[in-house]
Structures are given as C-alpha cells and as structure tokens.
Amino acid sequence: MPATTTGFIGIGNMGLGMALRLRDLGFAVGVRDIDPAREAAAAAHGASVHASAAALARHCDVVVVAVVDAAQCEAVLFGADGAAAVLAGGSCVMLCPTLSPASTAGFAERLHALGLDCIDAPMSGGPARARDGSMSLMVACPDPVYERHRQLVEALSSKVFRVGTRAGDGARTKLVNNLLAAINLAGAAEALALAERVGLDPARTLDVIAQSSGQSWIGSDRMPRALAGDLVPRAHTTLLAKDTGLAIGMAVDAGYDAVLGRVAAAAFDSACRAGCGALDDACLLQRARDRPALP
C-alpha cells in the first residue's frame, strides 16, 4: 500500500467514487467535505476524515480537488484553511472539476509559485464509472509531473487521455466533450418526446435508438430513468448548465459561433430557471414533453 495519504477535497458523486476506488486498491485515503454524511460514507470504507482542507493537506503529497466550480476551488486551495499554503514543496494538486481554461491555468500558475505541481485532470463518466475506475480522465501537465504520479492517475482511471502539457488543455477538452453531451442529451429528450407525441412506445423506441445511428452514451444512460420517472440526482441539471455556459464562453473567446451548443445551453438554463436545477439532468425529457403544441 502506498505510504502517503492521497487526499480528496470534495466527495460528492464523483469524488466519493474516486476515493473508494483508491481504497479498494489499497491506497491510504483522506477526505474533506462540507457534508458530514459524505465524510461518514468514506470513513466507513477506511478513509481518514479531516476537519479542513489544510488539515487534510498536512498528511498528503497529492490532493485531488473534486468540488463543483472555480469559486469552490479558490476556497479550498487558497481560502482560509486552504490546502495550498500547507502542502509541502513538490506536492501535487489534481484539479478534477469542470473549469474554464483560464481558471485552470490561473490555479496552476499560483500553485507553481508555491513550489507545487498541478495536474489538469477533468473527469467524465458518472459515479459508477468513477467507482470502478472506468471513467475518463483528460490529463494535461508536464511529462515529468505525469510520470511522478502515473501510478495514482492510472489507478483512478483505465481511460486516461494525455491531451497536452499545457494547463487548461484538459479543461478545453472537457468543455468540448460536455457541450456535445449536452447537445446529445437535449436531442435525446426531444426525440423521445416526439416519439410519444406521434403515438410510439417510448421505451421500445429507445431500444431501437440504442442499437441504431441515434445512439449516444448520455441518452442511453439518462433516458431509461427519465422514462421511469426517476429524477434522483446523479448529475444535477445545474452542472451541465454551468458547463455549457463555460463552453459557450470558450467558443466566443475563440471567435466561434457554436449554434447547436447555444441551443443546448439555453435548454439547461431554462430548466434551472424553472426550478429543476437540483433534479437529475434526465428531467429534460419532461421539459420536452411539456413543450406546447404548435398552433
């Protein structure tokens, strides 16, 4: 078992799966989360629980940040009781949230100024795949940093994609991926709502789509539970609303008009404004069903 503790700050749906994955493989794991229930779940599997990000970081040479957004990253790394100030020189921070490229590069620069390495490593695939190690990691960092932490990164994921050495390239790749995921999910919801509107059995139609050219991973993952009325959040609607907003911002910065992306972003934004932000993003099916009929 590795001698040093790997710390996880943020053990929500993805972070907890990642932490438990490492415990399964014999790693010493420490955790910090604002939700005591999440900490208790990790502790039940042998993880150590710490009272703050700083308290956790004192025991680690790698800290995996798996919070929601840039503001939370700022708080847990550089705020009061943040991890960055107490990590030993040469330690590493792995950034796994979906962030803007500018935020990721900014965090990496500030960490480097403190003598710390940074791995830009956004994740994709959902909690079950985080737990079994089959999620995707989009990794950008200098080659020597990757080699120092290869064992950890490859323990977390069997699908590691080295997308570059520049901090922010992981973020860019994740935003492109999530924009397409949002387009696919919005499209799958609309297609099934149309199937129902023209009198087709939606479950049977989904079976056809799953074996045909309309199939998408996210549609196949979300639509069965949407049809069952199961909107317990595995991925809150707010997340793709945030991610599509970041992706459209990146597109604007690049001078590119992401037409379908803007439509998908509007669908997620509308769902959040309608009070669906805390629901699973499979709620887009009901949103599509509720669309008024043409006159």
Please indicate, yes or no, if residue 49 is contained in any of the structural domains: yes
Q: What's the whole-number mean pLDDT along residues 192-217? A: 97
Query: In this model, does residue 282 exceed pLDDT 90?
Result: yes
With b for 16 or more beta-carbon neighbours within 10 A and e for fewer, the 39-78 pattern comes to bebbeeeebbbbebbbbbbebbbbbbbbbbbbebbbebbb
Task: Decide which of 167, 183, 215 is a domain's last residue.
Answer: 167
| pLDDT over 90, % of the chain | 96
Same domain, 181 and 217: yes
Please indicate, yes or no, if residue 295 is contained in any of the structural domains: no
Please indicate, yes or no, if residue 239 is contained in any of the structural domains: yes
Same domain, 43 and 155: yes
Please indicate, yes or no, if residue 233 is contained in any of the structural domains: yes
Query: In this model, does residue 168 exceed pLDDT 90?
Result: yes
pLDDT in tens, 29-38: 999 999 999 9
Q: What's the whole-number mean pLDDT along residues 165-192? A: 98
Same domain, 10 and 131: yes
pLDDT in tens, 84-110: 999 999 999 999 999 999 999 999 999
Please indicate, yes or no, if residue 62 is contained in any of the structural domains: yes
Same domain, 149 and 9: yes
Tokens 């020597």 -> residue: 144
Report the pLDDT value the prediction gives residue 4, as an integer from 0 to 100: 66
Same domain, 23 and 92: yes
Determine which one of 21, 174, 222, 236 is catalytic: 174
Same domain, 163 and 188: no
Q: CATH number, domain at 74?
A: 3.40.50.720
Same domain, 177 and 125: no
pLDDT in tens, 227-256: 999 999 999 999 999 999 999 999 999 999
pLDDT in tens, 69-83: 999 999 999 999 999
What total number of domains does the chain contain? 2
Please indicate, yes or no, if residue 260 is contained in any of the structural domains: yes
pLDDT in tens, 123-167: 999 899 999 999 999 999 999 999 999 999 999 999 999 999 999
Task: Decide which of 115, 139, 167 is a domain's last residue.
Answer: 167
Report the pLDDT value the prediction gives residue 1, as an integer from 0 to 100: 35
User: Which domain does 257 fall in, by range?
Assistant: 172-289
Q: CATH number, domain at 285?
A: 1.10.1040.10
Same domain, 179 and 255: yes
Same domain, 29 and 76: yes
Contacts (Cβ under 8 Å, ≥6 apart) of 178: 98, 124, 240, 243, 244, 247
Report the pLDDT value the prediction gives residue 273, as an integer from 0 to 100: 98
Q: pLDDT class for 2, splitting at 50, 70, 90?
A: very low
Angle ∠(38,22,39) on CA atoms, nearest 5 = 15
Same domain, 117 and 163: yes
Please indicate, yes or no, if residue 72 is contained in any of the structural domains: yes
Same domain, 32 and 139: yes
Same domain, 69 and 124: yes
Average predicted confidence (pLDDT) for the chain = 96
Please indicate, yes or no, if residue 85 is contained in any of the structural domains: yes
Query: In this model, does residue 3 exceed pLDDT 50?
Result: no
Task: Decide which of 167, 193, 210 is a domain's last residue.
Answer: 167
Q: Is 159 a catalytic residue?
A: no
